[in-house]
Amino acid sequence: MNALNETHDPDVRSWVPSAQAPGCDFPLQNLPFAVFRRRGSGQAWRGGVAIGDQVLDLAALAQAQLIQTADPLAAQALAAAAQDTLNDFMALGPAHWSALRRALWRLLREGSAEQPALQQRGLVPQAQAEYRVPARVGDYTDFYTSVHHATHIGRLFRPDNPLLPNYKWVPIGYHGRASSLVVSGTNFKRPRGQLMPPGAAQPTVGPSKRLDFELELGVYIGPGNALGEPIRIDQAEAHVFGLCVLNDWSARDIQGWEYQPLGPFLSKNFATSVSPWVVTLEALAPFRLPFTRPAEDPQPLPYLDSAQHRLRGALDIQLEVLLQTPTMRQAGQAPARIAQSNYRHAYWTLAQMVTHHAMGGCNLQAGDLLGTGTLSGPKPEEAGALIELTRGGQQPLTLPSGEQRTFLEDGDAVVLQAWCESPGLARIGFGICEGQVLPATPAA
């Protein structure tokens, strides 16, 4: 697990003025990575790092050779991070990631001798940038790490036995669809599928009527493991490059009909949105928390437990869901907050997800993506999906515009946000993950 170092000092400022702005997601202490280009330019995609409201162009930085001799690990990492995907950079491992982050921190802090050169050719305003999914994702696995979400959903279908007996023993997950991962800002069509109306004798085919969002974090894998080789719990985070915000859009009516006995299929594979920025675990080091498990619950089996993991295995990441309807948009009303939660409520940690995923011999690869599952907290207002917020559609949500929602309607836009914030520390933000629902494709 990452130790604190000079890059975490909250008193060090950047020469980029916006990095010190109140509420800024991207101060000098963050430096998350993305893949971008100037909007509409048609130029090659390249790696970038967020600082304030700017993107540091890593391809331009590599060409300028400003850190070529300063640190061989940082120079090697820069060459990989400047490419059109971050896979090669992710594969290098923690020593290279940390070396590049420290080198970038030194270039961007106040008093840097390289400020004039970077100001002239190294910065692109984020407002002028477009992004792509930052890695070539070979495989995507979605977990189910919130016991509160699992209990709330279970109670809708099994009031007397909401939580299945395996939940507190094993991190539950399913393999999702990597090809339909899209970057924030990509709108998508309402999915069509088989629907079984209540009391009907046979299903119908049509657009989903119970479309939902899911508030999640995404976990990008760094160096993989060989086929057949497990990953021990105390080494798991050395295989994690960083985190993003993730929205696993879900068609609840399609899901309810198809999910037994093999789990989600068409209800999940039409779109999954990710934020463009990947926040490194090193940047999150000040926001570590102990991993705890209620004394009355089963304690993790030995392969999912250790003294080190108990000490600092959890993370304090605040989460938020905003919703904007077409009516709100036309009236100039900003998206309204409908839920808040925190990653500290997760029952299973990211290290436990990685360890369990590989325990049977599965070979994870650089750029693979894990989803945490919906990160609901214990309170009703901390629910991370409409199916929870509205109790399965029985209690509509009333918005500031006076409109009501049980599930998403065409034109609705959902914005997910995440950040870490604590007195005496720099705010570490993830940017936003947003998407808008378009009408379904007409039947053939």
Q: Which of 8, 96, 149, 356 is catalytic?
A: 149
- Which two three-digit tokens encode residue 80? 């990989």
CB atoms within 10 A of CB 329: 16
Distance CA 156, CA 311 (A): 35
DSSP state of 414: E
What string of H, E and C letters represents the secondary structure of 116-141? Answer: HHHHHHCEEEHHHEEEECCCCCCCEE
- Spatial contact of 268 and 255, defined as CB atoms under 8 Å apart: yes
What string of H, E and C letters represents the secondary structure of 345-412? Answer: HCCCCHHHHHHHHHCCCCCCCCCCEEECCCCCCCCHHHCCCHHHHCCCCCCCEECCCCCEECCCCCCC
Distance CA 329, CA 215 (A): 22
CB atoms within 10 A of CB 312: 16
Spatial CB neighbours of 261, under 8 Å, sequence gap ≥ 6: none
DSSP state of 44: P
Is 149 an active-site residue?
yes
Please name which of 414, 389, 371 lies closest in space to residue 146, comparing C-alpha atoms: 371
- Cite the active site residues: 149
